[in-house]
Structure 1
């Protein structure tokens, strides 16, 4: 590990020029004392590191010095596929590996192209987490990732959103990061998890007793990679599997269609609060009346969920049907009015 760190320190100085000890310590995630020792080690190995004191001082390489030790090892090459999502790389335990790989690439590029890559990093940033939510704690993500990569059976203890617990042996086929949430797609012969957030399940080829299911990794209480290997199904397409199961989940969750009369303000809110379903509802909206209100047909979940979702629109929307849903919204609104009137 120290050899990798020394190389990273050398590449940092080569790619960025003068850096202070504090900046190096932050980049390498080590202490200042470790930076001092590493700089001395580089000097002892014949690397011409210049040290300058003062407020504008720091460490730099003697002009013209460049290393050609820029070959990527296997882990570094693999980590480059996560270059656009550094947060995900850190969660997978590949943050330092990715940083070293990027430094090696920059060192190997011609000066002009290296400058362009640095400008791109300065000007573009990808944040995969949804607004107004924190990322899930995923202490078992590295174990799951190792099982996926090595094609090893995974023994897990899973706790669903409703508190139900289950023990499973999974054949993990892939990892998916969706809106800052990690999922593992796996084969299992047990009943499906009681998890409404999962993107569904599909029967695997050639075996009706084994099904492809999706598990939210933050709900893994325990995960253990076994020594039992498994054969990955030929032709399995993780992206296609996720897209299909997500589509079926949306179809299954939308139990009915609500007929709404919504104000101009609600027309702006609908895509934000209901996503693609809200956007599609607006595309099929009827003509506005004299106040600008329109009629839309919005796919909604079960009544217990739909009532809460529709009440988020407040007085900017009126539920016209189905009659049962309109009655449920009216009943909830009445109960709220009574509760607040009592205080």
Structure 2
């Protein structure tokens, strides 16, 4: 298999959702790491390997070996018997590096060894491949739950997310070889493995599941009404959910959430708009997803409606027969066969 000469590093929750071009499908291969120091004894290390939000490998400072988490990853071992040993070596090397990083941070941030304060040093590296063939690298760090440093793959310079990170940025910018290794890893290791993994898990990773849409409403203390469009059960992750008013896209008084994974491997998201109740019928929730032949549109209503040239079944929440339920004010929309 060959060691690429660079240890992959990856992001956990500290960086939040990374927004992607929603109309373009993509796949992501990542190594996620965290070193946690409670101030009492040896720091704890966790190393998770993910593909499109699925954890396929797990390593920590207790087990000291990479454990498979999905059935399709066994195909990698069948192709290369040294696959798990290679990953264990990478994880072990990453543990040593992050422990050294944490000691460096203590030194530069004036934190003593005896200080009884928990510290989290999180790292993420990986790559993303878009359906049009473009790719991007990911190399980011977080400290105590906040963004800290990220690598610009074009300039090979580090971006400090806070004042405290500037000291480390200066040190890492001086180590050009380290930044170049990250870029080499993207081209020589990450993208080739991402493409291999698509082959290993294509039945799961390349599937398409269409969204179910629910529109609800609630009355605020100010007398205005909030329409909420809930979109559930879709795969892959990339989706475009917007509001339209009288046929035009509408962004005023709107809020939205990112695409969040469900326990079954699908995703859910939402978008809301605040309006006068008299204007309610002017709004449509507009959904674009690769599983849909054409965009789906949904309004708050009590019965079925022909939208976008396709018949959808609309039923009140909690009413499996699609009948009226005046109390809930929520409706479900599913494409009919």
**Structure 1 length-normalised TM:** 0.25
Relative contact order, CA 8 A, sep 6+: which one is greater? 2
Larger radius of gyration: 1
In terms of fraction of residues, the more helix-rich structure is 1
In terms of fraction of residues, the more strand-rich structure is 2
